[in-house]
Chains A and B, each alone.
Chain A
Amino acid sequence: MKNPNVLVIGSGVAGMEASLILGEAGQKVYLIERKSLIGGQTIKFEEVYPNMECATCMIAPKQQEILQNENIELFLLSEVEQVKGSVGEFKVKIKKKARYVSLANCIGCGACYEPCPVSLENEFEEGLSKKKAIAVPCPGALPNVPTIDPENCLRLNGKKKECQACKEACMFDAINFSEKDEILDLEVGAILIATGFGLLDVKNLPQYGYRKAKNVYTAMEFERLYAANGPTEGKLVLRDGETPKSIAIIHCVGRSEQGYCSGVCCMYSTKFSHFLKHKIPEAKICEFHTDLCIPGKSHQKFYQKILNQGVDFIRFDDIKVEEKNGKMQVIYKNGNGEKAKFIADMIILSAAMIPGGDTESLAKTIGISLDKKGFFSTQSEKLSPVATAVDGIFVAGCAEGPKDIPGSIAQAEAAAGKILSILR
């Protein structure tokens, strides 16, 4: 008799889609999420290509369904510690970190943020703004309940044990400093890994000038700059307060180091140009790429539209960013072998997609191998692109390899389908 419950690791688009399909079918889903909110990376975007649809609006109904579906039990601030057993009878240990704020009592009024004396870098906002030690990562976060960062909270880290400014401001008795981390034991019949992606750390690629030249941004930082609910509310303002007049977007950052094309960067870089052209019509925008990877049905048309709007697309063989006389220069060798340079106020680096979270340790815990590129390995030789070598354990989304949102959703639906077939 197989255990009908399913463990889904990761609440991005893939994890949510699979959970909803499994939940609708009547299976009980334990949805584990490492962070304090659901929605993965997509909620960081303002718009998605090629239709420029509002990312948060698009995904909000799914997030709401996850929070309200009776068959889905959500564990936030949680990670998998141990997996034992086999298909139909896995025994999983989850470590659930303390949130210190009750999900049941908190109504999301936000009265506790202001009195908190601690200000720290907001990781969700890619360090572009600060937040308090008790905070939600961004406006509109779901669930709309804050978390206390125990390392920075003065009371929890021992620096000022009597501080309870947040608790005093709360009218709903939602704050509990004595909450403890928990270890939970779950029994499931199947496991789905949907831990998503991150971007390659460009600090390790000094030729791109990140952090040396202030106005060099990673793609994720730019997404937050662009977002209406972001640190600048969508206003295009550089770190020094200026509005950029010439912008370089460099594709393929980390491509040769990682050894694969991430498939989505050409399109999202073009999306950036679309936004930039709209916000600053007189700006000079240059996209630097090696090969253009725009395989979707409607992608080429979108690229053509941006090209016609006067955005330059320059093919490069070699590229680097240098600071000279306070200005940033993109120095490159173009496709014909000629050397040239482009002076930019703002540089955006479209970096390679890498597996999200702590993939290596999760792989070891679950007992799944990673492929040469560091992503979870599937039985692709058997043409089973969601099944891993272990029966009952599946992968979906960018955890398996770089892909776009529809690709992740389809893979999540496929994995849910496969899980339903084995559990029924």
Chain B
Amino acid sequence: MKQDFKPNLVGFLCNWCSYAGADLAGSSKLEVKPYLSVIRVICSSRVNSNLVLNAFLWGADGVLIAGCHPGDCHYEKGNYYVRRRFALLKKILETLDLEPDRLQLSWISASEGKRYAEVVNKFAEDITRLGPSAFHTNPNI
């Protein structure tokens, strides 16, 4: 069953750096596994805890938050806030019987197209290895 398992992944990408990096990965025709749905936000700090936790509760096997490298945030400090929130969220996942590694945070700059592809593919691999989440609802599994 695990080989057929196609993880359902959600990614929140900030407009200024990581989304641009993803676009560059695309323009460079880099291959990514088709499991991640990208949702654009203006700044990674916009991603509040509700959104992440609800994503898991609605069946996401993994959630990725991507922002600018520390120091490069277009709004100066946003990525620092999301970093703190991320640490807290990982702890909360444990209480929901979810492996904390299902939530990942990555800093991707606008010129790191290759890195974006690597991060997404590794993320897909990691979650595939973890298997479907406790809340997974995909009937095709």
Contact = CB atoms under 8 A, between A and B. Distances in A.
17 contacts: A51-B71, A52-B71, A53-B71, A53-B72, A54-B72, A57-B17, A57-B68, A57-B72, A58-B72, A60-B20, A108-B27, A139-B113, A140-B27, A140-B111, A228-B115, A229-B111, A229-B113
A326 interface: no
B114 A57 contact: no
Contact of B16 (A61, A139, A140, A229): A61
A110 B69 CA distance: 29
Contacts of A58: 72
Given A228-B115, A233-B114, A56 B109 contact: yes
Nearest to A108: B27
Given A61-B74, A228-B112, A54 B27 contact: no
B54 interface: no
B120 interface: no
B31 to A, nearest CB: 16
Cβ-closest 3 pairs across A and B: A57-B110, A54-B109, A56-B111
A60 B20 CA distance: 9
A144 B26 CA distance: 13
B111 A54 contact: yes
B24 A139 contact: yes
B28 interface: yes
Given A60-B20, A139-B28, A144-B27, A54 B110 contact: yes
A297 to B, nearest CB: 16
Interface residues of A, number: 19
Contacts of B109: 54, 56-57, 228
Nearest to B74: A61
A144 to B, nearest CB: 7
Contacts, number: 51
Interface of A: 46, 51-54, 56-58, 60-61, 108, 110, 139-140, 144, 227-229, 233
A20 to B, nearest CB: 16
A140 B72 contact: no
A192 B66 CA distance: 40
Contacts of A60: 20, 110
Interface in B10-25: 16-17, 20, 24
Contacts of A144: 27
Contact of A228 (B17, B29, B74, B114): B114
Nearest to A144: B27
Contacts of B28: 139
Interface string B55-86: 00000000000001101101000000000000
A144 B28 CA distance: 12
A140 B24 contact: yes
Contacts of A228: 109, 111-112, 114-115
A57 B109 CA distance: 6
A229 B69 CA distance: 17
Contact of B27 (A46, A53, A61, A139): A139
Contacts of A233: 114
Contacts of A56: 109-111
Interface in B87-141: 109-115
A93 B16 CA distance: 38
A124 to B, nearest CB: 14
Given A57-B17, A57-B20, A229-B113, 5 more contacts: A53-B69, A53-B71, A108-B27, A227-B111, A228-B114
A76 B22 CA distance: 27
